[in-house]
Structure 1
């Protein structure tokens, strides 16, 4: 079954914005907050965005948590480092490291002013390198904060790969559900992935699509097939039904309302991509 290429692009961008959950898009202009949790991603421009903002805005947060162990996508992070024009010099040092330790290596080698903040104790750095999924990101972060006697934060900002930003936010809400009043959580994907039609508009096998993200080279983000797999796989996980991750299903996340237009877009794209999810 075929759909107009422009409609495919519209559906992709609708789902992408929903999953990114851009409550905070810029760390350069937002209000300060208690804790910043940075969940590792193979999309390395996110690291530059986060560390540059923290470096230029001392006092933006009191505690920085670098989050991520060794999981199914860690190899992609190794490959991204090897290909990176900015961080490629670290390629021989990252193999075998948990994702949070890779982020710390980037921080220590490329952001000296941020290191000064940490060394002078104006910024607390915690490295959580055990978690392997969004739910564990939240659980292990809370455990680490409590272990270091960090008070329950009033405000906590979560930086995550835009394709998993909403689910990670829901994971933190679930993990802190027993706390009253709960922290104020906000998702900061740093950018929303959008696509547009390439110059040909259509090519053999489907629409000619390209990423259209200001300031980020397409080669620095996802391969198209992986991106489509990620966004298509997220909607079933977010559903609050027998098969989803919500309270009525596996109970990994807080309830998420999925707008009808997002569900409809997902159903159309499922036919386009012949997804089996």
Structure 2
């Protein structure tokens, strides 16, 4: 079954090559502190003109707080963005004023819409935008931003530092990259991976134009669909978010 997991995960992450400099880098709310570190690495290298944190309180919020605590940082409970800001101050001595911020969005659609409103309020017009998100949600966040920002003609690039390929999925999920172990509970991991394919479909139940119309029509390769169906036959998954 590991091959089926990794086939689906590889599709969901939609990793792209990151080259040159970007007008804007956006970290969307998620549960993974290492992505906050990655944003700061990009900041220190001058990889973007502006850096933005997007996220209020959503399904990832309690997991993000727990993961920060597990690495020794007590952070705000107000929003995911404010957790990042607390972490940046404690670990890197970087002030909140260095970042564009959005603190009220609760899902991917609001991440995209509210960040666009923030950009407009700042009179910015970024054309090349780097997106960081939980890699399992990366394909959908990209599609969501493309739809909500379509009037801007911005081009979005997925920045996926680590693809979370798995080695075992038993009582716990063990990843090929040891740095990821423990960042997702098994239940949360299953809800993310197995919950994404139905959302990405362009049918009456999906997020595409034939359904909720949150994203454009995406093509899901047959191999990915087959692997997803194999997983659903084995794992007792119920949508929890």
Whether TM-score is above 0.5 comes out as yes
1:102 aligns with 2:75: no
3-state SS, counterpart of residue 63 of structure 1: strand
Aligned mate of 1:212, from 158, 161, 176: 176
Q: Distance in 2 between matches of 1:63 and 1:171?
A: 20
Q: What are structure 1's unaligned runs of at least 5 residues?
A: 1-7, 199-205
Kindly state the Cα deviation for residue 165 of structure 1 after the two structures are TM-superposed: 0.6
Aligned mate of 2:120, from 127, 130, 146: 146
Aligned mate of 1:77, from 55, 64, 72: 64
| Residue deviations 1:138-162 (CA, integer Å, cap 9, x gap) | 00110000001112x1101110001
- 1:109–1:250 Cα change, 3 Å: same
3-state SS, counterpart of residue 187 of structure 2: helix
Kindly state the Cα deviation for residue 260 of structure 1 after the two structures are TM-superposed: 0.6
| Aligned residues of 1:47 and 1:103 also touching (Cα < 8 A) | yes
Q: CA RMSD in A?
A: 2.1
Kindly state the Cα deviation for residue 190 of structure 1 after the two structures are TM-superposed: 1.9
Query: 2:162 aligns to what?
Result: 191
| Aligned residues of 2:54 and 2:102 also touching (Cα < 8 A) | yes
Q: Distance in 2 between matches of 1:146 and 1:248?
A: 30
3-state SS, counterpart of residue 134 of structure 2: coil
Aligned residues: 239
Q: Distance in 2 between matches of 1:32 and 1:188?
A: 13
Q: Distance in 2 between matches of 1:11 and 1:142?
A: 36
Q: Distance in 1 between matches of 2:151 and 2:41?
A: 34
Kindly state the Cα deviation for residue 178 of structure 1 after the two structures are TM-superposed: 2.9
Q: What are structure 2's unaligned runs of at least 5 residues?
A: none
Kindly state the Cα deviation for residue 209 of structure 1 after the two structures are TM-superposed: 5.5
TM-score normalised over the length of structure 1: 0.80
The structure showing larger relative contact order (alpha-carbon pairs under 8 Å, at least 6 residues apart) is: 1
Kindly state the Cα deviation for residue 125 of structure 1 after the two structures are TM-superposed: 1.8
Q: Distance in 2 between matches of 1:226 and 1:207?
A: 13
Moved over 3 A (4+): 206-209
Aligned mate of 2:105, from 131, 144, 161: 131
